[in-house]
Amino acid sequence: MKIAAYWKAVVAAAAAGTASLSTALEDGTVTGQEAVTAVLAVLGALGLTWLVPNRQPDKDR
């Protein structure tokens, strides 16, 4: 098990969650709908990024 294969999904989920929460916190509070949106953004980014395989390195390089 290589941890590097998981980091792209973790970073994408963190970025999506941070972006969603930073937008939600513009007025100083997070409503229920904004929290659900943030959770869905994290799960969506995590799932979609997990599905895309890493590119195999070229043997010429």
Tens-digit pLDDT profile for residues 2-59: 666 678 888 999 999 999 999 999 999 999 999 999 999 999 998 888 888 777 777 7
56 within some domain: no
Q: What predicted TM-score, i.e. pTM, was given to this entire model?
A: 0.76
Provide the residue range defining the domain that includes 41.
4-51
Q: Is residue 30 part of a domain?
A: yes
Domain presence at residue 59: no
In angstroms, the CA 7 to CA 1 distance is 12
Q: What HEC string does 19-34 produce?
A: HHHHHHHHHCCCCHHH
In the chain, how many domains are there? 1
In a domain, 12, yes or no: yes
| Residue 1 scores a pLDDT above 60 | no
Query: Does 57 map to a domain?
Result: no
* Integer Cα distance of 60 and 6 in angstroms: 25
Structure tokens at 57: 């390195």
